[in-house]
Amino acid sequence: MTSVVIALIPVVTRVPQSLPLASSGQFGPLDAAVWAIADLVRAARLLDDMPPLPDVTVQSLPGQSIPVAHACVRDDTLIWNDEVWRHRLDGPMVEVTTYRDSPLAAVDQQRLLDSFADLRVRSPSYVLYDLLGRADAAMDAGQPENAVIGYAITCEYFITNLALALAWETANSSSDAAIEAAATALKPWAASVENLLERCSPIGEGRWNANDVTVAAWLTDVVHIRNRLVHRGENTTMHHSRWAREAALGLIEMVKRRLMSSTKFPKARAQFTGQLSVKRWSSNRRRTDHEQRLANRHAYIAQSESFREWRDRVYAEDPRD
């Protein structure tokens, strides 16, 4: 399957664009472009009726030359200069490649495209574990910057969607008034992820702010390191990525444990927990009820579609659109 991707990346100067990937000690524009392109590739993992494809990183792609150009913005228009760089990627040796030798059939190519188009509306737990798996793959590949950002995105996705799911179940209405009220209260397009986490406090079970040890670890080892990496261009290490993974998993586990312990929000709980959560954290008294809810696949699909439609309508209230 052949794809062409154009990535527009705001930069302060042109200098970082000519630097090799991940070798300048900073997270540069080309790294951001590769991260965006990798989003296309990971859609393959969402196909449940095809053999899983190995994780593809830029280091495992065939040799290629990425054209890079620079433009200034004048009166809301991109003014391109005449200079085009060629960023050369040599690619791996043939004997160590792990990607498939033959291209996918046309029908499979189309299914991959359809899966990517449907990526953002898949069930929250499905996308959550895909994001987590991608961050793990980056850490295993020795890419601490991508790993830290991956764990940060995983947590932000989880928290934002959980806060929206709780509001969806509480409102129990798809009226325009209910949508507007939720958008006004949450502002998910602008609110900090810390604020959205505190919005999850109706679940109960302890503190939902920086005073909680698990939350504090997430803020220190995930959010803070991610901000230093993205906003300051600072370097990270494999130690940082391991700490970020531990903190991210700790936060996810804490939230899921509290969801399973709560007697509230059965619909939201179904969107973010599964058999493993029931086995690990459900009480014996309520385990049968949880298992029956999970077995009712038709109800789950209907609720998942209802939530995603409600969520998209809330985002449509973003005044910037």
Q: What span, in angstroms and rounded, lies between the C-alpha atoms of 4 and 176?
A: 39
Listed residue (155, 140, 148) closest to 27, CA to CA? 148
Name residue 87's beta-bridge partners: 66
Q: What span, in angstroms and rounded, lies between the C-alpha atoms of 95 and 89?
A: 17
Task: Quote the pTM value.
Answer: 0.64
Which pLDDT belongs to residue 73? 76
Torsional sign, CA 126, 132, 138, 142: negative
CA 106 to chain centre: 28
Which pLDDT belongs to residue 196? 93
Which pLDDT belongs to residue 254? 94
Which pLDDT belongs to residue 206? 83
8 A C-beta contact, residue 107 and residue 49: no
CA 260 to chain centre: 23
Which pLDDT belongs to residue 70? 74
Q: What span, in angstroms and rounded, lies between the C-alpha atoms of 116 and 78?
A: 28
Domain coordinates in residue numbering, the chain? 1-121, 123-321
How does pLDDT run along the chain (321 residues), one tens digit per residue?
A: 344 556 666 665 555 444 444 444 555 556 556 655 655 555 555 544 444 444 445 444 555 556 677 777 777 777 777 666 666 655 544 443 333 333 445 565 555 555 544 544 456 777 787 788 888 888 887 889 989 999 999 999 999 999 999 999 999 899 999 999 999 999 988 899 999 999 999 998 888 988 999 999 999 999 999 998 888 888 889 999 999 999 999 999 999 999 988 888 988 988 888 777 888 888 888 888 777 777 676 677 788 888 989 998 999 998 876
Q: How far is CA 27 from CA 33, 137, 259, 286, in A?
A: 11, 18, 36, 47
Residues whose CB falls within 8 Å of the CB of residue 201, separated by 6 or more in sequence, listed in order? 208
Which pLDDT belongs to residue 99? 36
